Amino acid sequence: MIHSLPIIHKVEVPPKQTLLQEFEHNVKEIFFSDNPLSKFKNQNGSRKFVLCLHSVFPIFDWGRSYNLQTFRYDFIAGITIASLCIPQDIAYARLANLDPQYGLYTSFVTPLVYAFMGSSRHIAIGPVSVVSLLLGTMLTDEISDYKSHEYLRLAFTATFFAGITQLTLGVLRLGFLIDFISHAAIVGFMAGAAITIALRQLHGLLGIQGFTKKSDVVSVMRSVWSTMHHGWNWHTIVIGVACLVFLLVTKYIAKKKRKLFWLAAIAPMVSVILSTVFVYITRADKKGVLIVRPIKKGVNPISAGEIFFSGKYLGPGVRIGMVAGMVALTEAVAIGRTFAAIKDYSLDGNKEMLAMGTMNVIGSVTSCYVATGSFSRTAVNYMAGCKTVVSNIVMSITVLLTLILITPLFKYTPIVVLSSIIIVVVLGLVNIDVVILLWKIDKLDFVAFMGVFLGVIFKSADIGILIAVVLSFAKIILQVTRPRTVVLGMVTGTSVYRNIQQYPETTQIPGMLIIRVDSAIYFSNSNYIKERILRCLADEDAERTGSELPRIKYLIVEMSPVNDIDTGGIHAFQELCNSLQKREVQLVLSNPGPIVMEKLHASKLSDLIGEDKIFVSVADAVATFGIKGEEL
């Protein structure tokens, strides 16, 4: 039974676009797919200026409706994340091989800048563990003496160029480039970095002096074992284990009772205070418990003159900056998106990059190093009920007060407590459930995860990034070269045609083969698609010759999913037509889209195929060419 439709529709060729229209359309699709200028339409000059201001500095937009009620929430959230960030800042600066005050400097300036320009409401800005580790590794590769002034200058240089990289991406609207690192690769990088960081903390936790500078697991573990009998300090270990237990227990409680989240948030600060007091009273530092270098008191000094704009460190500075800037951006965007999705507001990726870039450039001239959104603090910020980015301002001011007033009090803070804090934070970055899900959903994603993960822990963070990029590209290449083609059959009694492998109850039409191509047909896959179709035809023909079904006379190609075809694709279709002619099979097209129709016409391929062989639907084609009167 052939389902014959009342009217056979004709596929029209769309009106030809002018070159300018086409160009405009392409540029818009590629760079302005989010239509950022739509709100500027039909506005007068001064209004446009205001909107433009709002767009660059969102604070002027939401700031007008800001009130005391909202501020109460933001204040509490801000104080909470400040108490979390101060110990983290000191600890992370050590990961980057910088003096502790640089972590605090970064937590003062960058959140302020972000508050004016950023569009995420929940993100908490400041130094983060992964970027600190990356920076530390890459900077030490260039200048191994991390106590030298050159090292600090290179750090500022890298920060400056990280900001420039982010600004450039934002201005050129190339934000989509960060989508090229696959989710799996990011998870792998995070997990690898977390474990690397945690293992490196063993030297703090065990009180080992003269630890290896390498970050790979093998070197670290060798360093740990080799010092086992003489290098471990038992006083340190006791303090460390006590801190660890305290932090883990509060974290566990906070996880069980979400109302008690503040317990986990203030636990690091509490353990810093308690351990500092303990060391001060017992003078444990005389018994080999290492304490932090004295933290310089006072507000950020200007560092504009420190940046290398020439000389042999310019090149490394730019390179490290680009890598760190991209990684920082990836992390910030991932965080921003997660929370934007929870609260259903939209986040403009390109605008975020502008904010991040500006904040790092300003940071680099005010003694900050690369800052971005922090996973742990953002989550606390969200749970503490922050409403706007004002919580970042509150945090920034708290850090400022700390810098001015109480830094000398940190003098007796034992390093081991910082190590414990880092370990607990970074272990939160390893998410076993996500890894299991990767394995379950997509084996290729799991391979990418493992590749990056192993690269980071056995080699180094930058090698991990390289692996991430290569694997992500390999997947993209696979996607474009190996598109799917599916044989369709009719769902009995309807005019619906579906994949015969998925729906074995569908029936094939005698004398016809229906194939759907599920991709744009470009040079990269056109030849594969052509050969695939021909092979499929040969296989089906051989199969049907065995039974008593009639020979295939029509090859219907369902083109609905084919959104574009380029000259390579047209070429392949011409070759397909040639081959089919030799085999006395007619090529029939179903539902080519507007762009495809236009190109079929421009290339005269539609004449070769025949206008009467192009249909709106497979059902129409079958109704026209099907063997009438035969029961299926």
- Do residues 340 and 87 touch, judged by C-beta distance below 8 A? no
- Residue 585, helix vs strand vs coil: coil
Token pair for 24:
């405009």
Q: Report in angstroms how near the CB of residue 351 gets to a copy of itself at its nearest.
A: 14
Residues in region 161-200 near a copy of itself by CB under 8 A: 176, 179-184
Q: Give the distance from CA 338 to its chain's centroid.
A: 11
What's the helix, strand, coil split of the chain in %, to 5? 65, 5, 30
Q: Which of 244, 327, 390, 438 binds a copy of itself (CB under 8 A)?
A: 438
Q: How far is the CB of 527 from a copy of itself (least distance, A)?
A: 6
- Tokens encoding 275: 């351990």
Distance (Å, rounded) from C-alpha 466 to C-alpha 460? 10
385 binds a copy of itself (CB under 8 A): no
If the CB atoms of residues 409 and 534 are measured against a copy of itself, the closer one turns out to be: 534
- Indicate the residue among 70 and 574 with the shorter CB distance to a copy of itself: 574
- Between 564 and 630, CB nearer to a copy of itself: 564
Q: Distance between CA atoms of 259 and 543, rounded to whole angstroms?
A: 66
Q: Rule CB under 8 A: say whether 5 interacts with a copy of itself.
A: yes
CA dist 247 and 545 (Å) reads 73
Among 277, 304, 476, 632, interactor with a copy of itself by CB under 8 A: 476
With CB under 8 A as the contact rule, the residue among 61, 150, 285, 442 that binds a copy of itself is 442
Residue 493 interacting with a copy of itself (CB under 8 A)? yes
Q: Which is nearer to a copy of itself, 237 or 480 (CB)?
A: 480
Site for a copy of itself in 104-143 (CB under 8 A): none
In the complex with a copy of itself, the residue whose CB is nearer, 235 or 530, is 530
To a copy of itself, the closest distance from the beta carbon of 596 in angstroms equals: 10
- Please, which residues have CB within 8 angstroms of residue 93's CB and are 6 or more apart in sequence? 99, 100, 101, 102, 103, 104, 106, 127, 132, 369
Asked if residue 8 binds a copy of itself (CB under 8 A), the reply is no
CB of 80 to a copy of itself, least distance (A): 25
Q: What is the 3-state secondary structure (H, E, C) of 421-490?
A: HHHHHHHCCCCHHHHHHHHHHCHHHHHHHHHHHHHHHHCCHHHHHHHHHHHHHHHHHHHHHCCCEEEEEE
Pick the binder of a copy of itself from 39, 147, 222, 443 (CB under 8 A). 443
| Other CB atoms within 10 Å distance of the CB of residue 269 | 18
Please give the Cα distance from 620 to 613 (Å, whole number): 10
Site string for a copy of itself, 497-536 (x = CB under 8 A): -xx-xxx------------x-xxx-xxxx-xx--xx-xx-
Site string for a copy of itself, 342-361 (x = CB under 8 A): x-x-x---------------
Q: Are 95 and 422 in contact (CB under 8 A)?
A: yes
The DSSP output letter for 293 is P
Instruction: Examine residue 223 and tell whether it contacts a copy of itself (CB under 8 A).
Output: no
Kindly tell me which of 296 and 571 has the beta carbon lying closer to a copy of itself.
Answer: 571
Tell me which residues in 530-569 interact with a copy of itself (CB under 8 A).
531-532, 534-535, 560-564, 566-568
Residue of 51, 266, 444, 500 that binds a copy of itself (CB under 8 A): 444
Please state the closest distance from residue 91 (CB atom) to a copy of itself, in A: 30
**Interacting positions 13-32 with a copy of itself (CB under 8 A):** 14, 19, 22-23, 26, 29-30
Minimum CB separation of residue 625 from a copy of itself in Å reads 17
E strand segments, 103-150: 125-126
| 1, 482, 543, 550: which one binds a copy of itself (CB under 8 A) | 482
Nearer to a copy of itself by Cβ, of 314 and 534: the residue is 534
CA 304 vs. chain centroid, Å, equals 31
Measured CA angle at 232 (ends 227, 238), to 5 deg: 155
